[in-house]
Structure 1
Amino acid sequence: MTPQAPSASPARSEEAAEARKQQILMAAADLIADKGFAATRVGDIAKRAKVSHGLVNFYFGSLENLLIEALLSTEERFYEVADSIATRPTSGTERLRRLVEWVFSEDSRQTRAWTLWLESWAEAAHRDVVADARARQDERWRTLFDNAVADDFPGSEEERESAILTLAALLDGLMVQVALEDPTITTAKAYELGVRYTEQMMK
């Protein structure tokens, strides 16, 4: 009698499931960034990820949920680097400069993340669940800068809050223009403007 191969262990099955999920998320992020959320279909994502249509629905339930998960997954990769910069043992001015440098680095993954953010902002205007996810990420974005200057901001707490809100909004606007390839706002120009403001806010 031929012995049967042992079944996969629960841990290995979980790893395989997580790998498939990440494969779907990467495919979704690529397609949404390339085609836009409105033009992306679950079938397109399944084909790009080389999985079944049903498996995509099993993991995410809806294209809306998939957009949120793809956005959060992309942002996690961004914050892995950004959080480490914001907590380096140097001055707040230097941490902010390095954060702006990272935001506008010549990295295709960064540009892809910006495009996903644009899609999430557009969908947030019409879908409450996306709006809730977007609000949480906006708060994390501002907290990043707050952590960077927490120990040596030169003004009051109220002034720090105002400065951080302004910086976050400024960088959001610059990222939109860079992502849309505005010929006037290159990544180099966006970096210059961002750093100029951080220097002013830390005086």
Structure 2
Amino acid sequence: MARVRLSVEERREELLRAAVEQIQSRGVAAVRIADVASALGVSNALVLYHYSTKENLVAAAFTYAAEGDLAHLRKLLGRRTSAVRRLRAAVRWYAPTGQAKGWRLWIEGWAASLREPALRSVTRELDQQWKAALAEVIAEGAAAGEFVCADPSAAAWRLTALLDGLAVQMTSYAGALTKATMLEWTDEALARELGLERAELADSAR
């Protein structure tokens, strides 16, 4: 049966989805253009026509995957409710016990970016967007008097650093911590950054 003819945008999205799956399965270093092409039943030349090099394809795949999560993060942070409630929902979703996908992909990206400047630039920009989105809502809540936070940007850095580190541990050593422990630690960290007691955080987030 003949393949359905796709638009350029549809074809590129198909290639990026396949690249993300292959990177998660094989790792950045091992994945090849041929792996992505084979997964879709297309030629290597077609993949190279759209992305020219493996490095370009990998960078685009990371951007594609991360922007999906960023869109959901912004949706959570943009709800019409208190800043505390939005932040708690976002942090719990972002944590490795939540629904955010792609932690294995991010860990692969961090490791590969040490050797690949183009990927390092992409992952740094995406990481900065995560931090900026959290910092904006922390600043909003502080301005509204919901809590006290003298440096929203630093608070966002500390929160994401903790969550990133926990994600590495949970991905590398599955079962090392329970979901309940992870949620307890994320609540403690968020409450500390907002100058709240854990009970106050829980009450405010209801």
Question: With structure 1 as the length reference, what TM-score do the two structures score?
Answer: 0.83
Runs of 4+ more than 6 Å apart: none
Q: How does 1:121-160 map to 2 (within 5 A)?
A: 121-153=110-142, 154-155=147-148, 157=150, 159-160=151-152
Asked if the contact 1:46/1:56 (under 8 Å) is kept, the reply is: yes
- The aligned counterpart of 1:28 is 19
SS at match of 2:140: coil
The one-letter code matched in structure 2 to 1:200 is R
Unaligned runs of 5+ in 1: 1-12
Q: For residues 158 and 12 of structure 2, what CA distance do their matches in structure 1 show? A: 37
Identity of aligned residues (%): 27
Rg larger for = 1
Aligned to 2:166: 174
Q: Secondary structure at the match of 1:152?
A: helix
Number of residue pairs matched by the alignment = 186
C-alpha RMSD over aligned residues = 1.9
In 2: Cα distance, 1:106 partner to 1:94 partner: 16
Take 2:39 and 2:121, find their aligned partners in 1: how far apart are those partners?
A: 28
Match of 1:92 among 61, 83, 90: 83
Shift of the alpha carbon at 1:101?
Answer: 2.2
User: Conserved in 2, the CA contact under 8 Å of 1:178 and 1:187?
Assistant: no
Q: Which consecutive residues of structure 2, in runs of 5 or more, have no partner in the other structure?
A: 196-206
Amino acid at match of 1:173: G
SS of 2:81's equivalent? coil
What is the deviation of 1:34? 0.8
Identify which range, 146-155 or 91-100, moves more after superposition: 146-155
Which sits farther off after the overlay, 181-190 or 16-25? 181-190
Q: Distance in 1 between matches of 2:181 and 2:60?
A: 31
- 1:185 aligned residue (177, 187, 197): 177
User: Does structure 1 retain, via aligned residues, the 8 Å contact 2:19–2:61?
Assistant: yes
The TM-score with structure 2 as length reference comes to 0.82
Between the aligned partners of 1:187 and 1:63, the Cα distance in structure 2 is 37
The offset of 1:187, in angstroms, is 4.2
Describe the superposition over 1:114-173 as per-residue Cα deviations: whole angstroms up to 9, x where unpaired: 11111111111111111111110111010121122221224454x322211111111111
Deviation at 1:191, TM superposition (A): 2.7
* Equivalent residue number for residue 49 of structure 2: 58
